[in-house]
Amino acid sequence: MKISVIGTGYVGLVTGVSLAMIGNQVVCIGRNISKINQINKGNPPFSEPELENLLKKVTREGRLVASNQFEKEVGKSEITIIAVGTPTVDEKIDLSQIKNVSTQIGRVLNRKKNYHVVVVKSTVVPGTTEGLVAATIEKISGLKRGEFGLCMNPEFLREGCAVEDAMKPDRIVIGQLDKKSGKVVANIYKKFKCPKIFVNIKTAELIKYSANALFATMISYSNEIARIAEKVGGIDVVDVWRGVHLDNRLSPRVGSLPKKNGRYFPQFLSYIFSGCGYGGSCFPKDTKAITNFARENKIETPVLNGVVKINTSQPLRLVHLLKKTVGEIKGKKITVLGLTFKPDTDDLRESPAIPVIEELIKNKAKVSVHDPLAYLKGPRKELENLKIHYHQKIEKAVFGAEAVIIVTAWSEYKKLTPSFFIKLMKDPVIIDGRRIFSVDKFLKKGIKFQAIGYKNPLI
Ligand code: NAD
């Protein structure tokens, strides 16, 4: 099918590539001409494993092009997927990009003769697709819903494995205005053999928030338990989670599933684990958007309010642990290892590293940072106001530091040994925000070690 995808960000581009890979003809529509040229040469504007290979393939074979010719390209396509940003501004979802795109689509449909299906893939609060999107298109195009198709098809990809998620979806949720629209959307995914769930549009919108909020809840819950462990003393929260994870309801003893020591450990368990909080382009904004949506609709959400509250303060606990360990940090070199919100992505949006660095700077520390990907391709706007020293090599970042804070669980950091730090630091202090190190190994070597969910007897 001929598909136009609006937006060339993570979701737009990865969706476009995956749909082209399974035989559709895709045009990705963006606004930034240099980004469009880059995509047409097969170079993704952001880092994502496997994306470059597939993008090169589909652009070379002419199955995907990028363009800024909105009206022309939408007009030529049979189906338009909206994948623009829905940021949270002042705790509330900002739907201005969705409104603009709906207006632009309305103009095209005003002149178009053939049936056209509009699909919202962006994450939007319940009621947006049938409200704002459909109403705007109706007003501008003069058509009534039904004369054009309408679906909400939430995206579940995870940055860092977005291509794999898009090429092997667990399920495809199709919120349909009517059967005719749903059938068109199901058709573009026909090569994917996963379950396809047909629901109404508002249900599809809420499925997306419920999924993200569930994972965010598990993370904040784990961090709340970590706070108890830290305060009580003598408890390591990693042991707590080991004991919890081995419940047969969480890690079943089943035959044919992938297993370790006779148990199947679902990925879900990685969210029931303590750290310095969730970040990225989705969990923070989506939990805030849905709680605000509930508040505006006079629905109480004490659980989700707590999830957001814990997550906001969690990164600062690393600086708290640091100060408890070294005292005054003014003028001291403190090294932050990891800037991205999780490994295998260069995404800095809402990364816990940002509030950690801001707090260190507020306390007049000299901040050095290392990240394998974050600034590899040049300076980043998320960091432009932060006075920090960037390093390409971990050794240089750590050399002479008074303390090292682990914010991102990059695999290269997991390999660092106590002797690595002893060699480069005078009196090593490690604050492990992701629980990547074995406490015993570090303590045995005389390193001052603190971590989320761990009560160091030295303190
Ligand atoms: P993004 O900000 O990376 O990309 C959005 C793109 O849309 C931007 O490049 C922007 O310039 C473009 N855009 C906006 N208006 C446009 C217009 N009128 N014409 C052409 N292009 C336009 O956002 P993203 O991370 O790709 O997320 C998009 C949506 O998908 C959001 O609602 C997000 O919540 C949701 N989502 C994101 C992820 C993720 O992991 N990033 C996962 C699932 C769902």
Residue whose Cα lies nearest atom 20 of ligand 1: it is 30
Q: What is the pLDDT of residue 259?
A: 59
pLDDT of 91 over the 90 cut: no
Active site residues: 282
Over residues 308-336, the pLDDT tens digits come to 999 999 999 999 999 999 999 999 999 99
d(CA 266, CA 249): 11
Cα 240 to middle of ligand 1, angstroms: 38
φ, ψ at 152 (rounded to 5°) = -120, 120
102 lines ligand 1 (CB under 6 A): no
Q: What is the pLDDT of residue 456?
A: 62
The crossing angle, in degrees rounded to 10, of helices 96-111 and 134-141 is: 40
pLDDT of 257 over the 80 cut: no
d(CA 88, CA 91): 6
Amino acid at 459: I
Q: What is the pLDDT of residue 264?
A: 84
159 lines ligand 1 (CB under 6 A): yes
Query: Are 277 and 250 contacting, i.e. CB atoms less than 8 angstroms apart?
Result: no
Helical residues (DSSP H) of 269-373, grouped into ranges: 283-296, 302-313, 316-326, 353-362
pLDDT of 160 over the 90 cut: no
Q: What is the pLDDT of residue 459?
A: 47
Residue whose Cα lies nearest atom 32 of ligand 1: it is 122
Over residues 99-124, the pLDDT tens digits come to 999 999 999 999 999 999 999 999 99
pLDDT of 188 over the 50 cut: yes
Ligand 1 atom index nearest CA of 84: 7
d(CA 306, CA 174): 31
Cα 322 to middle of ligand 1, angstroms: 36
Q: Which residue among 98, 281, 285 is best mutated to probe the pocket of ligand 1, counting the most ligand atoms within 8 A of its Cβ?
A: 281
d(CA 367, CA 397): 9
85 lines ligand 1 (CB under 6 A): yes
69 lines ligand 1 (CB under 6 A): no
pLDDT of 396 over the 50 cut: yes
pLDDT of 29 over the 70 cut: yes
Over residues 190-243, the pLDDT tens digits come to 999 999 999 999 999 999 999 999 999 999 999 999 999 998 989 999 999 999
Cα 87 to middle of ligand 1, angstroms: 9
Query: Are 128 and 203 contacting, i.e. CB atoms less than 8 angstroms apart?
Result: no
CA 354 to chain centre: 15
Q: Considering only 161-170, 244-253, 315-324, 434-443, which range has the smallest mean pLDDT?
A: 244-253
Residue whose Cα lies nearest atom 3 of ligand 1: it is 9
Residues shown for the chain: 459
322 lines ligand 1 (CB under 6 A): no
Q: What is the pLDDT of residue 446?
A: 93
Average pLDDT value over all residues in the chain: 95
11 lines ligand 1 (CB under 6 A): yes
Q: What is the pLDDT of residue 258?
A: 59
> Which has more pLDDT, 379 or 110?
110
Q: Report which DSSP code applies to 275.
A: S
Distance in angstroms between the alpha carbons of the first and the last residue of the chain: 64
97 lines ligand 1 (CB under 6 A): yes
Tell me the CA distances in angstroms from 234 to 223, 239, 458, one per residue in order: 17, 11, 11
Ligand 1 atom index nearest CA of 35: 9
Cα 331 to middle of ligand 1, angstroms: 40
Over residues 164-184, the pLDDT tens digits come to 999 999 999 999 999 999 999
Residue whose Cα lies nearest atom 14 of ligand 1: it is 84
Over residues 275-293, the pLDDT tens digits come to 999 999 999 999 999 999 9
74 lines ligand 1 (CB under 6 A): no
Name the β-bridge partners of 28: 5, 66
pLDDT band at 403 (very low <50, low <70, confident <90, very high): very high
87 lines ligand 1 (CB under 6 A): no
pLDDT of 44 over the 50 cut: yes
Q: Report which DSSP code applies to 38.
A: H
pLDDT band at 256 (very low <50, low <70, confident <90, very high): low
The pTM score is 0.93
Q: What is the pLDDT of residue 35?
A: 97
Q: What is the pLDDT of residue 457?
A: 55
In this structure, what token pair is assigned to residue 79?
A: 């189906």
pLDDT band at 262 (very low <50, low <70, confident <90, very high): confident
Ligand 1 atom index nearest CA of 7: 7
Q: What is the pLDDT of residue 187?
A: 97
Residue whose Cα lies nearest atom 19 of ligand 1: it is 30
The mean pLDDT of 296-306, rounded to a whole number, is 98
Cα 97 to middle of ligand 1, angstroms: 9
Q: What is the pLDDT of residue 296?
A: 96
Q: What is the pLDDT of residue 211?
A: 97
Ligand 1 atom index nearest CA of 86: 32
